[in-house]
Amino acid sequence: RVASAKWLGTRAFSQSTARLATLLLVEHKDAVLSPATLNALTAAGKLSQPVTALVAGSQAKAVAESVAKYEHVSKVLLAEDAAYDHGLPEVYAPLVVATQKQLSAEHVVAAHTAFGKSILPRAAAILDVAQVSDITAVEGSDTFVRPVYAGNAIATVRTKDPIKIVTVRTTAFPAAAIKGEVATVEKAPTADTQSPTAWVGEEVSKSDRPELAGAKIVVSGGRAFKSKENFDMVYKLADALGAAVGASRAAVDAGYCDNSLQVGQTGKIVAPELYVALGISGAIQHLAGMKDSKIIVAVNKDPDCPIFQVADYGLVGDIFKLVPELTEKVAAS
């Protein structure tokens, strides 16, 4: 939904001076600022000024102080409350709305991560406006570019809503840099933290490898590996390269690896310096998650498979022979 029933008209709205600010929703985990927020901040810097960052959680003070050092941020609002500790969208959304109202913010921005994707649509629903999701460029204060049909078409959309709720594709914007002066940290408005949902627990997979979404090199494996044991080859090559591990959905569905490794339309979107696709056919849903990688290397036994259409370097052959050979050569170099 792009048009809102409550639209007042672009002209009428642009004449108003009241609503000129951007609210950035800050994501963090274990008191560490999420790098994705810094990409969203760069997008926020192209929207209504000033930019105010919203940080919430009982241990979030250090994060607030860290965000305050970045360019574009003119103020940080901190909600120090344990109710926000687990990122429950039902709890966060009223806080986002209360802060948007206090600032009269025209734009509300977050990274297009699981966190941003679950909170902002709820805030948009409360505000009765549409959300513009997964933007890759800012064309104007109401006009954004975003991929559609799994990245096969690029749409330019204009929202007529007075408040623009926007999630940002992190790979499309560089991370914001630290600036000279430090913004002030103030208390965020209070909001209702009562929620029908409660946090019960979480199982977080731990890995010494780089995080998939922000890694410079990603090595991904596909269905061709045939088993969880064989998929070990992907980890070995990744470790030799200092890379993160990814996978196609077929490999995830077959149980060769954890589903947090899935790259693609319904997985993670990555754009590393180097993406190595091993035994992956290159279905459009997979390409949607990796085709913006700087250099793509593919190993596949089928010379006609679609992955070779996007690959910069292609190796036609058997992964069971070529991957151990590659790993050995990389480790020796």
- Contact between 258 and ligand FAD (CB under 6 A)? no
Q: Choose which of 163, 289, 293, 314 interacts with ligand FAD (CB under 6 A).
A: 289
Q: Which is nearer to ligand FAD, 105 or 261 (CB)?
A: 261
Find out whether 112 and 168 touch, Cβ atoms under 8 Å.
Answer: yes
Select from 32, 71, 74 the least CA-distant residue to 54: 74
If one counts every other C-beta atom within 10 angstroms of the C-beta of residue 331, the result is: 12
- Contact between 172 and ligand FAD (CB under 6 A)? no
The count of residues interacting with ligand FAD (CB under 6 A) is 27
- Contact between 283 and ligand FAD (CB under 6 A)? yes
Q: Choose which of 24, 25, 166, 280 interacts with ligand FAD (CB under 6 A).
A: 280
Which residues make Cβ contacts (< 8 Å) with residue 167, sequence separation at least 6? 40, 109, 110, 111, 112, 116, 117, 120, 131, 132, 133, 134, 135
Distance of CA 287 to the CA centre of its chain: 17
- Contact between 266 and ligand FAD (CB under 6 A)? yes
- Give the Cα separation of 166 and 133 in Å (integer): 6
Q: Which stretch binds ligand FAD (CB under 6 A): 79-87, 104-112, 140-148, 263-271?
A: 263-271
Q: Shortest Cβ distance from residue 82 to ligand FAD (Å)?
A: 35
Is residue 146 annotated as involved in ligand binding?
A: no
Query: What token pair was written down for 298?
Result: 């593919």
Q: What angle do CA 311, 316, 319 make, to 5 degrees?
A: 100
Is residue 74 annotated as involved in ligand binding?
A: no
- Give the Cα separation of 305 and 221 in Å (integer): 15
- Contact between 272 and ligand FAD (CB under 6 A)? no
- Give the Cα separation of 53 and 93 in Å (integer): 15
Which residues make Cβ contacts (< 8 Å) with residue 332, sequence separation at least 6? none
- Contact between 236 and ligand FAD (CB under 6 A)? no
Is residue 319 annotated as involved in ligand binding?
A: yes
Q: Choose which of 250, 270, 274, 296 interacts with ligand FAD (CB under 6 A).
A: 250
Q: Which is nearer to ligand FAD, 210 or 317 (CB)?
A: 317
- Contact between 171 and ligand FAD (CB under 6 A)? no
Find out whether 257 and 245 touch, Cβ atoms under 8 Å.
Answer: yes
Query: What token pair was written down for 185?
Result: 């940290």
Residue with tokens 């979404």: 213
Is residue 285 annotated as involved in ligand binding?
A: yes
* Residue 247 parent element (H or E): strand 244-247
Q: Shortest Cβ distance from residue 295 to ligand FAD (Å)?
A: 19
Is residue 152 annotated as involved in ligand binding?
A: no
Give me Rg for the CA atoms of the chain.
22
Find out whether 280 and 286 touch, Cβ atoms under 8 Å.
Answer: yes
Q: Choose which of 116, 147, 151, 279 interacts with ligand FAD (CB under 6 A).
A: 279
DSSP characters over 113-142: SHHHHHHHHHHHHHHT--EEEEESEE-SSS
Q: Which stretch binds ligand FAD (CB under 6 A): 54-62, 105-113, 155-163, 244-252?
A: 244-252
Distance of CA 184 to the CA centre of its chain: 27
- Contact between 301 and ligand FAD (CB under 6 A)? yes
Which residues make Cβ contacts (< 8 Å) with residue 305, sequence separation at least 6? 281, 282
- Contact between 319 and ligand FAD (CB under 6 A)? yes
- Contact between 318 and ligand FAD (CB under 6 A)? yes
Is residue 263 annotated as involved in ligand binding?
A: yes
What would the x/- binding string for ligand FAD be over residues 207 to 226, using CB under 6 A?
Answer: ---------------xxx--
- Contact between 267 and ligand FAD (CB under 6 A)? yes
Query: Which residues here bind ligand FAD, judged by CB under 6 A?
Result: 222-224, 248-251, 262-267, 279-281, 283, 285-286, 289, 300-302, 305, 318-320
Binding residues: 223, 248-249, 262-266, 279-286, 300, 318-319
